[in-house]
């Protein structure tokens, strides 16, 4: 259980900002993946198991992106795009849960 610090509040805000930028086509998937990795690493008060859950969601994006870069010349097929969309949705939902729980004084399992 933790109370969210100003520092972590800014990191969560940046995560939401980056997700929105990607959804609007303002940044690429590669940039989003890099930004998520950095911002997750910058969270100080989030429990390790919660960080790991967020990283697992992020790793799926990274894997699809890497495969697309190596085998498909940087292009994602229809199924890959659906996976990315669904993964980002799941990531966003989990970030919202963590942020809301921190605001109320605890983090969900």
pLDDT single digits (tens) 3-49: 678 898 899 999 999 999 999 999 999 999 999 999 999 988 888 88
CA nearest to 87, candidates 71, 63, 66: 63
The domain total for the chain is 1
Is 1 inside a domain boundary?
A: no
Is 105 inside a domain boundary?
A: no
Is 107 inside a domain boundary?
A: no
Boundaries of domain holding 94: 6-99
pLDDT of 45 reads 81
Is 64 inside a domain boundary?
A: yes
Find the helix or strand (DSSP H, E) in which 9 lies.
helix 6-23
Is 20 inside a domain boundary?
A: yes
Is 106 inside a domain boundary?
A: no
Q: Provide the whole-model pTM.
A: 0.83
Is 32 inside a domain boundary?
A: yes
């Amino acid at each position: 259980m933790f109370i969210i610090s100003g520092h972590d509040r800014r990191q969560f805000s940046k995560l939401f900002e980056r997700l929105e930028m990607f959804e609007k086509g303002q940044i690429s998937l590669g940039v989003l993946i890099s930004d998520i990795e950095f911002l997750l690493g910058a969270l100080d008060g989030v429990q390790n198991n919660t960080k790991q859950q967020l990283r697992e969601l992020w790793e799926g994006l990274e894997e699809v992106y890497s495969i697309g870069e190596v085998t498909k010349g940087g292009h994602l097929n229809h199924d890959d795009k659906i996976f990315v969309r669904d993964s980002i949705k799941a990531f966003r939902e989990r970030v919202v849960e963590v942020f809301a729980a921190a605001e109320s004084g605890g983090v969900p399992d």
